[in-house]
Amino acid sequence: MMKKMIAMLLALVMALSMAGLVSAEEAAPAEEGGTPLVVAYSPFSAKFSPFYADTGYDQDAVELTQIQILTTDRSGGIIYNAIEGETVSYNGTDYLYKGPADISVVYDEATDTTKYTAKIRDDLLFSDGVPVTADDIIFTYYTYLDPTYVGSTTLSSYGILGLNEYQTQTTSEVYDKYAAMAEDIFAAGEDHEWSEADGWTQEQQDGFWALVKEGWMNDVQGIVDYVLANYMDYSEDYAGLTADEIAESDSKKVAFGMVMWGFGEIADGILTTGDGKTFDLATDEVTIEDYYNATYAAYEGDVEAYAATESADGTDVAGNAKLAFVMEYGPKDEAMGGAGVPNISGIKKLDDYTVEVTTAGYEAPAVYSILGIQITPMHYYGDADKYDYENNQFGFDFGDLSKQKSLIEHPMGAGPYKFISYENKVITYEANENYYKGEPKIKEIQFKETAAAEVATAVGTGEVDAGEMTGSKIRFEEVGTINGDGEITGPVITTSKVDNLGYGYIGMNADTVNVGGVADSAESKALRKALATVLAVYRDVAFDSYYGEAASVIQYPISNTSWAAPQATDEGYKLAFSVDPEGNDIYTADMTAEDKYAAALAASLKWFEAAGFTVEDGKVTAAPEGAKLDYEVIIPGDGTGDHPSYTVLTMARDAFEQIGITLTINDPADSNILWDALDAGTQELWCAAWGATIDPDMYQVYHSSGVVGEGGSDSNHYHIRDAELDNLIVEARKSDNQAYRKSLYKQCLDIIIDWAVEIPAYQRQNCIIFSTERINIDTLTPDITTFWGWMHDIELLEMN
């Protein structure tokens, strides 16, 4: 849905599950027209912020409270004159689309710039009655574009004029000067004896290496955090410490991290570090600086060699230090006059209700990010006393987003509903009397967490009123039984099915599944292909068993709803992971399913050999340095295996066991275990799904700037860093020629498959079910589509 335009949001591959705070039939208050609409979801992460929500469920929770600038129709087309409205035909019916703002996108060939203009209605109010103005849009932009902001938007990836200067607080000339200076200081080396002929001061030299040390120590802390998240179960076996001892002591946490990463040994309670120091763990404190010293000694101060080999999340420690140096010393340059850069020149407030954003060049997806933002209340998320547009004050201090972060659990905006509370895993909303389309007819909505398997039963028994149901054979049969006539729409339940704007996948983290710590080597790719080949061969049987006709297997990591998705008739189209290391096809047309399973396993052995594993008598007997004979896959199946990809994993696990590889399936009851691992970058393999956007832009998910921990979108959970892929993604943005862009995206998809960090799984349908008995179905928004969800026009929805 267009409301998800800012980011492609990571979501469970399972459908949203729903149940009520109490049964819907019991929840009706005495007041007429006050029956709540009870809806439930898979677990929330409680990041209920328009700035920081990063799962589909948290984003949905926020969206009910917000409005965004951009309006789109049922086909995903942009409505440019939404204030007065535009009529667009869909499926033979004319629909009038209205929204909060008129927009325009104008490219100027002479200056090679594009202007994005938004003019909002002058009668918009936030839910607390405060008017919505251009100042709120300005505040929202500056929050997203603050250099300390880390979230799922790609807004900063577009060439907004003056953005780099603002974020670094230097002009481009000064930036280039200090970036070159940082390179020169780094090249001279830490032991360089400063002289006046160097072109920099002693203070600058010392300051640069202090920044390198700070970044190195932060990275070492990241290793400790990674070890604690992944190896605590093995603490007694590997470090001579119990889990309780480690958990209760920061010193022992560091010691544990050193031992598990090969920079220390523990014997009789004494830690001996890699640089020869000893610590009595009963009395001595082991600090992060001690760990840093051990790594520094091991790599003789070579920070690039350290980061390439040891960094838990692939952080470019030296690169980060160089950027920090520019931001530290650039603003102090005489050319800056000590004032820095006060604003982003490409963002202008034209009047009280109009804002203009100017970018360099033209990029096709930019409109969805630049004008797809939600308009956040500056007086709530910021500080009105710190806002003065004319004097370059934008509602908060530069680099300080503490106020925005402090409200992460309680959203507020101008949307149809007001967020009231999140208690006992239930979100409660009240109708917003100030909503510009009119106060919603349903006065209260509840979102409650529950298991996916209970959705149909809950709607049938009256526990809930609506829900997005997994479109599996079992669930359709269940709905048919509840309706009493075998149909999925009947007297008890009404079902709506549309193609899902997204797809399911099995992912691999290139930083944790590799050979020798080098994520992009031929050997590392071969290892991941060995795993992917076996996983891919079981997709057909697994998804047919789970979904039936409600889903299909996909061969590329892109939703089939996208115009950029490769088709079977396209030149170069291949089944995912269907060749061996010599490039030969694994399968033939006359193979049975069992033949294919055997062929996949045989090809997998060849890939393991190509990765440097020892293969003897049809079994893998030893792994090269940095690789293993066992890997873990996390699947969010509620701890019961209720997940489309679960059968893929169990069949692959049994196959791998035959050749000496262990695939451990971790199916936690709490799906936040997976999300936390993804946020930390500690996962090896996992199952999930992407919610896509109308434009197939790949920047957020696959560009190297988005790798978790790099300070970008934090959505590149695959940790794929490929310069060619980065260039293709950026190049595809610059054209509005769909055929040309599709050809570039095909090259991108081929690179992703070659890295083997993602196994395309399935394209499913969204199956939303409603209580025919308790909801007035005639008031539900008609013609629900991939781009037009059931919560559109929610202010018109009525209960029976």
237 pLDDT tier (thresholds 50, 70, 90): low
Q: How far apart are the first and last CA of the chain?
A: 27
Distance of alpha carbon 331 from alpha carbon 351, whole angstroms: 31
**How many degrees, rounded to 5, is the angle at CA 186 between CA 181 and CA 192?**
105
35 CB contacts (<8 Å, ≥6 apart)? 24, 27, 28, 29, 442, 774, 799
φ/ψ of residue 2, rounded to 5: -60, -25
**Among 684, 620, 626, which Cα is nearest to 655's?**
620
Q: 152 with 715: CB under 8 angstroms?
A: yes
Query: Quick one: pLDDT at residue 9?
Result: 33
Relative orientation angle of helices 539-547 and 646-658, to the nearest 10 degrees: 150
Which sign, positive or negative, has the C-alpha torsion 785, 786, 790, 792? Answer: negative
Average pLDDT score over the chain: 90
**Per-residue pLDDT tens over the stretch 403-451:** 999 999 999 999 999 999 999 989 999 999 999 999 999 999 999 887 8
* Residue appearing with tokens 């950026």: 730
* pLDDT surpassing 70 at residue 28: no
The model's pTM is: 0.75
Distance of alpha carbon 220 from alpha carbon 163, whole angstroms: 31
Query: Quick one: pLDDT at residue 26?
Result: 41
The CB density around residue 362, as the number of other CB atoms within 10 Å, is: 18
* pLDDT surpassing 90 at residue 300: yes
391 CB contacts (<8 Å, ≥6 apart)? none
Q: 2 with 74: CB under 8 angstroms?
A: no
Q: 382 with 403: CB under 8 angstroms?
A: yes
**Per-residue pLDDT tens over the stretch 595-650:** 999 999 999 999 999 999 999 999 999 999 999 999 999 999 989 999 999 999 99
**Per-residue pLDDT tens over the stretch 121-132:** 999 999 999 999
Query: Quick one: pLDDT at residue 243?
Result: 79
SS3 130: coil
Query: Which tokens sit at 128?
Result: 């607390």
672 CB contacts (<8 Å, ≥6 apart)? 43, 45
269 dihedral zone (left: phi>0; alpha: psi -120 to 50; beta)? left
> Highest-confidence range of 9-23, 91-105, 258-272, 691-705, by mean pLDDT?
91-105
Which sign, positive or negative, has the C-alpha torsion 187, 193, 199, 204? Answer: positive
565 pLDDT tier (thresholds 50, 70, 90): very high
CA distances for 579 relative to 391, 530, 599, 637, angstroms:
62, 11, 10, 30
**Per-residue pLDDT tens over the stretch 135-156:** 999 999 999 999 989 887 879 8
790 pLDDT tier (thresholds 50, 70, 90): very high
Paired sense of beta strands 502-508 and 93-97, if any = unpaired
Q: Which residue has the higher pLDDT, 3 or 267?
A: 267
The fraction of the chain above a pLDDT of 70, given in percent, is 94
Query: Quick one: pLDDT at residue 239?
Result: 60
**Per-residue pLDDT tens over the stretch 361-394:** 999 999 999 999 999 999 999 999 999 999 999 9
Query: Quick one: pLDDT at residue 187?
Result: 95
| Mean pLDDT of the 590-594 span | 96
**Among 648, 636, 714, which Cα is nearest to 678's?**
714
Helix (H) / strand (E) containing 690: strand 685-691
* pLDDT surpassing 60 at residue 711: yes
* pLDDT surpassing 60 at residue 3: no
Identify how many contiguous H helices and E strands the chain contains and give both numbers: 24, 26
Paired sense of beta strands 630-634 and 662-666, if any = parallel
**Among 340, 388, 416, 419, which Cα is nearest to 139's?**
388
Q: 412 with 127: CB under 8 angstroms?
A: yes
SS3 39: strand
